[in-house]
């Protein structure tokens, strides 16, 4: 079975294949993905519900976010990541903790200049942390929020001096989770996300085009 079209379209949108104001016409997408309009329309509808594209008049375009919207999403995410870390401290299994340790070790060996690799393993780490909550609803909410700002997240990790702090935060976080210290795990996660927001704001102040 080939990869479903909505998934391919999703990847392309997240990889910024389409320009911000470029109309995602059904004709263009049927050609690109070699399918008829029906599955293409379904894919567009799905991504619209996920908040990745939006209807602008008749056309569908990649959804962009204002600085205010991004801040808003970050603020919600701080809350959810705090809750997730706190819950993971209580619910994580030995396997969850091992997987997290493995990912952390992997991250410590990465080239801090390779933004793509940083972003990728960082996301894997977060995803595993979410799974460690064993809470389907939390996982769903976090995935939803993450997807909406994924296109923008590469940058904070490569901000000067950020990466070592990220790694140190994760070490502390795993220690707290290992101790089953829910409150501390939550605090670390909240501060971590809050730092990420502050860096984004600083970057925005330095150059508004970075979003």
CB of 41 to DNA, least distance (A): 6
How many Å from the N-terminal Cα to the C-terminal Cα in the chain? 38
DSSP helix/strand/coil, 60: strand
| By the rule CB under 8 A, 144 interacts with a copy of itself | yes
By a kind-dependent CB cut-off of 5 to 8 A, residue 58 interacts, out of DNA, a copy of itself, none, with DNA
Query: Closest CB to a copy of itself among 83 and 107?
Result: 83
Return the range that interacts with a copy of itself (CB under 8 A); candidates 11-19, 42-50, 98-106, 163-171: 42-50
Q: Contact 130/99 with Cβ under 8 angstroms?
A: no
Burial class, 103, CB count within 10 angstroms (exposed 0-12 / middle 13-18 / buried 19+) = buried
Per DSSP (E only), the strands in 53-113 are: 53-56, 59-62
Return the range that interacts with a copy of itself (CB under 8 A); candidates 105-113, 133-141, 154-162, 191-199: 133-141
- Angstrom distance (rounded) from CA 83 to CA 91: 12
Binding site for a copy of itself (CB under 8 A): 38, 41-42, 45-46, 49-51, 69, 72-73, 75-76, 79-80, 83, 135-138, 140-141, 144-145, 148
């Amino acid at each position: 079975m080939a990869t479903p079209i909505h998934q391919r379209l999703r990847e392309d949108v997240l990889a910024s294949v389409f320009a911000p104001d470029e109309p995602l016409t059904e004709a263009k997408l049927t050609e690109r993905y070699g399918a008829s309009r029906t599955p293409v329309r379904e894919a567009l509808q799905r991504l619209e519900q996920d908040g990745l594209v939006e209807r602008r008049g008749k056309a569908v375009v990649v959804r962009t976010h204002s600085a205010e919207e991004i801040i808003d999403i970050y603020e919600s995410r701080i809350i959810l990541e705090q809750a997730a870390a706190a819950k993971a401290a209580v619910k994580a299994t030995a396997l969850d903790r091992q997987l997290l340790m493995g990912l952390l070790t992997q991250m410590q060996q990465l080239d801090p200049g390779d933004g793509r690799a940083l972003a990728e393993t960082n996301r894997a780490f977060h995803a595993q942390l979410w799974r460690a909550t064993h809470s389907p609803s939390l996982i769903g909410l976090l995935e939803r929020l993450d997807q909406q700002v994924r296109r923008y997240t590469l940058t904070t990790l490569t901000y000067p001096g950020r990466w070592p702090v990220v790694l140190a935060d994760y070490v502390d976080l795993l220690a707290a989770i290992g101790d089953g210290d829910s409150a501390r795990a939550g605090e670390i996660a909240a501060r971590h996300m809050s730092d990420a927001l502050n860096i984004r704001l600083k970057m925005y102040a330095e150059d508004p085009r970075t979003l």
